[in-house]
Chain A
Amino acid sequence: MATEVHLGRVIRRVKFLRGLLLLLFIGAVGFAINVVHDLDQGVRSLRTAEQNDPVWVASHLQAELLQLKSDLSQFALGYGSANDVALRFDIAWSRINVLQEGKLSQIIGSFPVDASILAELEAEFQSLEPAIKRLNSNNINEEVGRSIAEDLVLSLNGFNGSIKDFLVSLAQATTKAETEFRAELLSYSHTVVYLSLTILCLLGIFILELVIELRASRKTESEMSILATEAQSAARMKMNFMSVISHELRTPLTSIIGGLTLLKRRLDGTMKDATAHKLLDVASRNGDRLLALVNDILDAQALSEGKVSVQRVPEDLNRIVISAVEGCHSYAEQLGVRYQLSTPNEEMVVLTDSARVNQIVVNLISNAAKFTSAGDVVEICLKRDGQTARIEVTDHGIGIPADRQSAIFTPFHQINPGTTGDNKSSGLGLSITKQLIDLLDGDIGFNSVEGRGSTFWIELNLLSEFSPRVETQYRPAPVSAAT
């Protein structure tokens, strides 16, 4: 009882600790996922900024503007073609567009920079476009063309300063973003340290919990083992007590039975008192039963302690079965039951212990007589089934109810205790029989229908190449020589 209370307390404590740990773990994992996600977002935004470095693209715009101005200046001096100028104009325009589209536009939008220069530049390009077209027209005077080119250079010169400012502010913003990211990264690294510490703490608690649980389970185990030892010693003491009592009973019992037998024999011719004869019979019969019971208890104890040994020699089962049936004949007669034996016309030699097989057969056929009604014929059949000898004992008695059949070979099991009248048994017979047949490496089984009777059978392996000459060789051979 104290153990159960203690166990319950330990289990509750362990459950609480586990729940707490689980919650802490979930919290830590959630926190870690959050940190990793934030870190990932930071890295992504930095990578995007690096992949689409707006400073790099804006510097390209500046370079293209310078190139355009250079081409225009050369054209004004009479070098280069109007086509080249137009192409350069388009290329520079494309750089304005690149900065106003896609990720670059988003990045520039997220920076605290004045991007209006791009719109102004685009508007200026739109206003310059007709002039560029004029340069490319076929009917333009060379002088006029040069003058237009000079004007164009002058118009673009106005953007030098603002483009430069734009580039500087972009560079500053980019640097600031990188610095911020690095600072954030540093803070993340602190967070990761805290997280690692938390996880280490949790691991410590987890290990502590394991140790506590291990100790508790060890304690429980030792308590259980003490209980088991106590139970075993109690059982052993009980069995020893039974055994001592049985031994002590057997000697006087044998004397009583012997005395009764002698007395009966002596009075048979002289005493005419029928009641006295009947009383002597009752005393004798009950003495026999008591002796059988005592013997059963001693057998059961010897079997449970592994003290029963078998000595296997080649034996003809015909002989054993006939002898067992003859031995039980008078007992069956008292119950008004007849035995009908059928044996094959051949030797059925098995390597076995004849005394034990005899005990098994006696148990089965006396049981059959006991649990059938007077006037019944118990059939005993010895037959060959391939390399197996099978002995079947069939009665037409009360049978075994289906729900009791699985427990039939357990000790102290009885069918309908109290209704078998004079035929009460110890309930050890079938248990002993089963243990003996197991010891002999045989099989036992039964088929039974309640109210219609039962057939119990045992099977033992036949000696395959037996001949009388071999018998003498087998006799001294050890058990392991059996085939």
Chain B
Amino acid sequence: MLFQKISCVILVVMSFGAPTLLSAEDILTITTPKSTTSFTQEELLGMPQTTVVTLNDYVDDVTTFQGPSLRLLLEKLDISQDATLKMVALNGFSSDIPASDAFNYSVVLAVLRNGKTMPVREKGPIWVIYPMDEHPELQSDIYNGRLVWQLKSISVE
């Protein structure tokens, strides 16, 4: 079991590049029933980036958000569309979102806001962003509740 876990982590690390397994700067941890994978900000920025330009209820103007798409991470970790993702914030707040959202919309784990990293006091380091301008049907309280800021970890259920 332990061997399987380690090999899985190594696999993920190999596929994502820089080995920062034990980095103290991990900002995101994804836990699946099989494995736990952590990412630093640099790792997240090193992945193929998705940019979403949108307005939401928590910003004053149309804002450019950038980061890896949630779909990319789910595919890399072989997480199916049927899964439910528990998005946990730094203060322990959590919100459940269906993994299918990531496949239906370009949901971004935004690391950059208007090209700059986000400190904790500005909803950083990771903010889950839905393309609400592109898909008006997302402008509802259901999806507002899924815009989890200060994302710390994702656990797959």
Interfacial residues, chain A to chain B (CB-CB below 8 A) = 47-48, 50-52, 60, 64, 67, 87, 90-91, 93-94, 97-98, 101-105
Contacts and interface: CB of A to CB of B under 8 A. Distances in A.
Contacts of B121: 90-91, 93-94, 97
B140 A51 contact: yes
Interface stretch (B11-19, B43-51, B56-64, B77-85): B56-64
A211 to B, nearest CB: 47
Contacts of A97: 121-123
Contact of B90 (A52, A87, A98): A87
A102 B120 contact: no
B65 interface: no
Contacts of A103: 57-58
A101 B91 contact: no
A102 B59 contact: yes
Given A101-B58, A101-B59, A102-B58, A94 B123 contact: yes
Interface of B (DSSP majority class)? loop
B120 A94 contact: yes
Given A50-B141, A97-B121, A91 B90 contact: yes
Contacts of B150: 91, 94
Contacts of A50: 141
Most central of B59, B91, B122, B140 by chain A CB within 10 Å: B91
Contacts of A48: 57
Contact of A51 (B60, B123, B141): B141
- Please give me the 3 A-B residue pairs with the lowest Cβ-Cβ distance, nearest first: A90-B120, A51-B141, A93-B121
A52 B57 contact: yes
Contact of B149 (A64, A93, A94): A94
Nearest to B56: A102
A101 B149 CA distance: 14
B54 interface: no
Interface residues of B, number: 18
16 contacts: A48-B57, A50-B141, A51-B141, A51-B144, A52-B144, A87-B90, A91-B91, A91-B150, A93-B121, A97-B121, A97-B122, A97-B123, A102-B59, A103-B58, A104-B57, A104-B58
Interface string B102-132: 0000000000000000011111000000000
Given A51-B140, A94-B121, A94-B149, A64 B91 contact: yes
A90 B121 CA distance: 5
B151 to A, nearest CB: 13
Contacts of A51: 57, 140-141, 144
Nearest to A93: B121
A97 B118 CA distance: 13
Interface string B77-99: 00000000000001101000000
A72 to B, nearest CB: 16
Taking each of B56, B57, B93, B140, which has the highest tally of chain A beta carbons within 10 Å of its own beta carbon? B57
Contacts of A98: 58, 123
Contacts of B140: 51
A41 B88 CA distance: 34
A97 B123 CA distance: 9
A91 B119 CA distance: 10
A193 B58 CA distance: 39
Given A97-B121, A105-B60, 9 more contacts: A50-B141, A51-B57, A51-B140, A51-B144, A52-B144, A91-B91, A94-B121, A94-B122, A101-B58
A33 B57 CA distance: 28
B58 to A, nearest CB: 4
A102 B57 contact: yes
Nearest to B144: A51
A118 to B, nearest CB: 14
Nearest to A53: B141
Given A47-B141, A51-B140, A52-B144, A90 B59 contact: no
A39 B2 CA distance: 60
Contacts of B90: 87, 91
B120 A87 contact: yes
Nearest to A90: B120
Given A51-B144, A52-B144, A67-B91, A91 B59 contact: no
Nearest to A89: B121
Contacts of A102: 56-60
Given A51-B144, A52-B144, A90 B119 contact: yes
Most buried by A among B58, B60, B123: B58
Please indicate which of the listed interface residues A47, A64, A101 has the most CB atoms of chain B within 10 Å of its own CB: A101
Contacts of B91: 64, 67, 91
A91 B57 contact: no
A61 B59 CA distance: 18
Nearest to A63: B91
Nearest to A50: B141
